[in-house]
Structure 1
Amino acid sequence: MLEEVERWLATRSWSVADIPQHRVLAAKRATGQSVSVVLPALNEEPTVGDIVATIRRDLVERTPLVDEIVVVDSGSTDRTAEVAAAAGARVVHRDTILPRIPALPGKGEVLWRSLLATDGDVVCFVDADLRDFSSDFVVGTVGPLLTDPGIDLVKAMYDRPLGQAPGEGGRVTELVARPLLNMHWPRLAGFVQPLGGEYAARRSLLERLPFPVGYGVELGMLVDALHLSGLDALAQVDVGVRRHRHQDSQALGRMAAAIYRTAQLRLARGHLLRPTLTQFERTTTGFEPRTYQVDTEERPPMLDITEYTSRRVA
């Protein structure tokens, strides 16, 4: 058993330097595949412009690797949309994509709808709150998909500091996602950043996946991709260091609950009640409970949506 686990942990892992950019570009030209980069964004004015500008400068103008950069705004109240557009992205509001289905709050909802707002054969997702962003995040995750037809999904892996503490970021990953994967899907135990928001996949895979609408989308996508494509079609690439805005512990608690629920649904679909999570906040009169519904909604595979299949035929 130990030898088998070691084999799983060693499967399909590279560094971004292992697949040089010129080789990735040559593969793109040879295969004719197109690449879309999607940034889901909600009030990310301080960071979204730098990310878009870096991708446009490095991977559109200097090296024609990326065909479109799309920021999907899920209702920002700051200047996220204006900053992203000025930096060179096409900005689409979440509610204008598939308007016949009322939008639900959540990151997964935005990623799901983005399939209708993009055209790339390969779709790369990048969180919009990254600081000190490098285009290696895109090259690293897109590269294996363009150079190896047997790979369907690539996750970025990286160091994730918390302030000045190296390796202390990714608290929900270490406390919730990693134990769940090791216990229930041990073939996925080798993924360093299973919840990371930087990854790329073939459209032909994404359009067959259900999308949890909230924070469970990354774990759900990884588990479902394992069952649809098999472990050999999944990979990860080391892109260095990821710095971003960290959330407070209560937000992380809600994230953890959604991720746990996503795992539950995949272990026992249709037999669980809709859960809630109660947290506590100190007020002038003591601790008061705050109860939240845990994200449980999932969107069906995009191939089940008439507007999507009609567009493909057209």
Structure 2
Amino acid sequence: MLDEVGHWLRRRSWNAADRPLDQLLAAKRRTGTTVSVVLPALDEEETVGRIVSVIRRDLSALVDELVVMDSGSTDRTAEVAAAAGAKVIHRDEVLPRLPPSPGKGEVLWRSLLATHGDVVCFVDADLREFSASFVSGIVGPLLTDPDVAFVKAMYDRPLDGLPAGGGRVTELVARPLLNLHWPRLAGVVQPLGGEYAARRSLLERLPFPVGYGVELALLIDALETAGLDALAQVDVGVRHHRHQDGQALGRMAAAIYATAERRLPRGSGRGLTPLIQFDRDASGAFVPRDHVLVTEERPPMRTVPEYAPRGTYV
């Protein structure tokens, strides 16, 4: 298996600089491929405007559609994103017959109904020091290599002065799970990263967990559906973003475990819910708090009557 991973790394790992923008634009014209960029956002007024502005300024010829999917923000996220030039769509406006569930995966799933590009690129809206290479880098292989269907960004994630101190849920939960149960994915540097692009014709065939487990699920299901050689990753440098506290990381880890458990042959599919965590009360005593984890998954978008399939990935 190590040989297979090594072979994949040599053939399917690149740097964003390997494909200059003029090369991507030539490939886009030649193939007629359209590109949608989706930013799922929840209370990201401090960062979303800068990301939208950079994409609009540097990638206007590459990106056909730039959509901010608002997941119920209570701040000025929608206003700031629209002022910067994005099309803003509220989660509840898409597929109104189906009450929305809370969570990032829900927004990503609904974005397939709200966009039209042949290639869909997801970018988290909390990134700081954002570079256009986060988009062009991961879209590039999909424009230039017809055999590639799903591309993850890879990067350093600094934390507290350590160049690679971030990604704690990745290192403590996701990576061990992948190495144990899906070793062909052991070469993926950032399996939980929120920046990735894929052909719509693949995404529309995959189920989407409504919560934090969506990135792991899409990666595993893309492997099972399209095969390892259809997956790739591109180095885009350094990712600066907001980090979570320990309890939030615990809930994320539980969601990742529940998502993986559903995909194991012996899994019961029930997931891990609720999760018990502890806080101190005013007297200093530890008090248990239960957090109900939403483990629901949305079906492949191709099965939704309101969705018009754009073709089938081969």
- Measured against aligned partners, the alpha-carbon deviations of 1:135-166 in whole angstroms (never above 9, x if no partner) come to 00000000000000000000000010013221
Match of 1:290 in 2: 289
Bigger mean CA deviation after superposition, 260-269 or 74-83? 260-269
Partner of 2:36: 36
Does structure 2 retain, via aligned residues, the 8 Å contact 1:98–1:113? yes
Q: Does the 8 Å contact 2:302/2:309 carry over to 1?
A: no
Matched, 1:146 2:143: yes
Match for residue 191 of structure 1? 188
Tell me by how many angstroms 1:269 deviates.
Answer: 7.3
Letter in 1 for 2:287: E
Contact 2:36 2:119 (C-alpha < 8 Å) held by counterparts: yes
TM-fit CA distance, 1:9: 4.3
TM-score (norm 2): 0.95
Alignment match, 2:298:
299
* 1:214-293 alignment runs, 5 A limit: 214-268=211-265, 271-274=268-271, 275-285=273-283, 286-293=285-292
Alignment of 1:42-61 (within 5 A): 42-60=42-60
Q: Secondary structure at the match of 1:71?
A: strand
If the length of structure 1 is used for normalisation, what is the TM-score?
0.95
Structure 1: segments with no counterpart, 5+ residues: none
Q: Distance in 1 between matches of 2:267 and 2:224?
A: 18
Give the aligned residue type for 2:308.
T
Does residue 171 (structure 1) correspond to residue 192 (structure 2)? The answer is no
- Deviation at 1:7? 2.8
| Separation of aligned partners in 2, 1:271 and 1:175 | 23
SS at match of 1:306: coil
**CA RMSD after TM alignment:** 1.5
Which residue in 1 is equivalent to 2:109?
Answer: 112
CA distance in 2, matches of 1:113, 1:181: 27
Tell me by how many angstroms 1:168 deviates: 0.3
Equivalent AA in structure 2 for residue 293 of structure 1: V
Unaligned runs of at least 5 residues, structure 2: none
User: In structure 2, do the counterparts of structure 1 residues 58 and 184 end up closer, same or farther at CA, with 3 Å as the change threshold?
Assistant: same
Structure 1 position 305, deviation (Å): 0.3
CA distance in 2: counterparts of 1:99 and 1:251, whole angstroms? 30
Q: Relative to structure 1, is the Cα distance of residues 205 and 4 closer, same or farther in structure 2, using a 3 angstrom cutoff?
A: closer
- Which amino acid letter does the alignment assign opposite residue 22 of structure 2? H
Report % sequence identity.
72
Q: Cα deviations across residues 105-157 of structure 1 (Å, max 9, x unaligned)? A: 00000000000000000000000000000000000000000000000000000
What is the CA deviation profile of residues 32-53 of structure 1, one whole-angstrom value per residue up to 9, with x for unaligned ones? 0100000000000000000000
156-165 vs 74-83, which moves further: 156-165
When residues 66 and 250 of structure 1 are mapped into structure 2, their CA distance, relative to the original with a 3 A threshold, is: same
